[in-house]
Chains A and B, each alone.
Chain A
Amino acid sequence: MEAGLKGFRALGRQVARAQDAWLRAHPEAAEAARQRLLALDHEPLVVPRRSHGRSWGILGIAAAAASWFAWSVSARPVLRFQVGPSESGAVEPRGGATRGTVGDWIAAPPEGGLPLRFSDGSVIRLDADARARVAEVTPRGARVVLEQGTARAHVEHRAATRWDIEAGPFNVRVVGTTFEVGWDPARDLFTVSLEQGQVAVQGCALPHERLVITGQTFQATCRNGRIASDSAPSEAVAVPPVVTTAGMAPSVTAPVQRPAAVSDRGSLPAARQAALAPASATGEGGRSRWRSLLARGLKDDAVDAAEAEGLLAVCDGSDAAALMDLADAARFAGRTDAAGIVLRRLRERFPADERASVAAFHLGRMAFDRAAYDEARGWFAAYLDEQPHGPLAREASGRVMEALERSGDHARARDAAKRYIEDFPNGPHAELARSIGRR
């Protein structure tokens, strides 16, 4: 038996060496897990202490599993917030504070301000008479609607932070910063003043996302679809280093050209167009920031940077290889919206490039993952049309069949299954194909 063990161990050592080499060459999984874990900074992960028993016995692990399942079932951890005067940073109500409810309108009293404290450490303080509601909370941030008045916000930057503050027809997208935002519906006047960090403003007559940085105040009115004023300074400025949490490499500082002149006027753009349009004019330094972040493996930050620059602008200024890199980063970071935009743009700009077909395949997978089976089938079919003998043809064929089956189109699924077995009798979908064929 001992001799037989030598064989297992020799094989095991060889397998281990190959695995270790693979892990060294692919640090992405650890990096993704790291970023997701850091994004959970706000989420208390506490299991009640047991006073007896083995330290890591079944019950303890079961409790951990239960806690994890509760977390996962509740559609990932989201921020919580409290409303009230307490200066305590704790989430639990104390000192007169009350637990906040998403969707409720919150009005600051005439005599003073009212803070909204979020479990990630961010605070939005409503000035006297201001009215707001927290419209949405997510694991990465929140969406706050300021109906009237002024609010002072301090948003903690963490990996993949995403905060939006809507003030009238304007939207302020925040990464991590301290600023004051105001909306006066009577005067139709929007104001945002940056004490620290940067925000991107979009909406109303802004032709594209407007970057507002430290020391700037931006004012605008939407009356008649025109921007009335803007006090942004005229000098080119550097983006301040992004505040990072411990264990993360600091972000680079890159020069960014000042936002476009205020005299930009025009009709109200589509919100989507505004969101995708460039934040700055033609700053090459700014455009390359996402690439340098990506080169350092900071995928989520790279996607953030690309979005801040304007995804369409990034797409229009990048070659197919770079676009595929960005799309991969977005997919890997779970930013499927951004990935979808980049992949579609890649197909539009480089229809003859083989990557355009790969983009179709990825779009199909993303659609499949969100159970949009008809759309998924369309993308996989597009891949097969373009690359009938391409390296992904076998998988695309299987996915077409699977998408048809899942969408309830069993007759066509059987046809697809028959074709699959003919073409790929030993393929990974063959078992399913035979199963479908027997029905």
Chain B
Amino acid sequence: MSQPASILARSDDRALVHALQEGHPAAKVELFERYVRHVERILARVLGHDPELADILHEVFVRSLSAIDTLEDAGALQGWLTGIAVLTAREHIRRRIRGRWLRFFAPADLPDVEDAAPDAEGREALRATYRVLDRLASDDRVAFALRHIEGLELRDVAAACNVSLNTIKRRLARAERRFSALAAREPSLRAWSERGARWKRA
């Protein structure tokens, strides 16, 4: 209970979870510092650029801290956080879809990737990819983003979505078909689409 923060920083996930469940005051900060990049990346993969990223990130950690007592396998902390991040992101997508008719972003909210993305092709690929993903069902979108953008293994995608391997395979197949069809209408993705077709023919 009285572990100093410096010890927590050197502890493994099991010790951290134990400290969180015991209510150690420094454990919350350590959890955040240890996993903020991972959670932020998962959210970005699923959502694309989102002006509410800070709120969603915060929400993931609040949910995690609220439910930390339900985590029985302390060694599975990262996967558990990934699941909560995916759940939170999916809910956010659904809220976003419901409010789409009245929700518009100012330029300040739109992806400002010029200063960060390494090349014009990458920038446009980023934008176009999420334009296409915006048109997929949220479950399919999540599966596609985790598998192909984050690069998770199928079983990890299934675990993050809390569904069976077969279910995630079905979602992924559906997402890939739809993505391919929509990508063909995106000039910046046409090259990718055609390249994929060439590989298919090979």
Contact = CB atoms under 8 A, between A and B. Distances in A.
B23 to A, nearest CB: 8
A22 B48 CA distance: 11
B125 A18 contact: yes
A64 B148 contact: no
A56 B116 contact: no
A371 interface: no
Contact of A4 (B33, B59, B196): B196
A247 B32 contact: yes
B37 A30 contact: yes
A361 B108 CA distance: 11
A23 B25 contact: no
A395 B106 contact: yes
Contacts of A5: 176
Contacts of B64: 64
B202 to A, nearest CB: 6
Contact of B149 (A12, A36, A57): A12
Contact of B83 (A19, A56, A399): A56
B41 A57 contact: no
Given A18-B116, A37-B62, A8 B148 contact: yes
Contacts of A22: 44, 49, 111-113, 116-117, 126
Given A21-B117, A37-B61, A16 B45 contact: yes
A429 B125 CA distance: 24
Given A17-B122, A55-B73, A56-B84, A23 B40 contact: yes
Interface stretch (A40-48, A94-102, A144-152, A220-228): A40-48
B199 A45 contact: no
A253 interface: no
B182 interface: no
Interface string B130-156: 000000000000001001111100000
A4 B200 contact: yes
Given A7-B193, A18-B113, A64 B66 contact: yes
20 contacts: A7-B192, A8-B148, A11-B192, A16-B149, A17-B118, A18-B113, A22-B117, A22-B126, A29-B54, A30-B54, A41-B25, A55-B72, A55-B76, A56-B162, A60-B70, A61-B83, A64-B70, A247-B26, A247-B30, A361-B106
Given A23-B41, A30-B37, A30-B57, 7 more contacts: A16-B150, A18-B122, A28-B54, A29-B53, A61-B84, A245-B29, A246-B26
> 9 closest Cβ contacts across the A-B interface?
A7-B196, A3-B199, A64-B67, A60-B70, A12-B148, A247-B29, A32-B54, A55-B72, A18-B117
Interface of A: 1, 3-26, 28-30, 32-34, 36-38, 40-41, 45-50, 55-61, 63-65, 67-68, 71, 245-247, 361, 365, 391-392, 395, 398-399, 402, 428-429, 431-432, 435
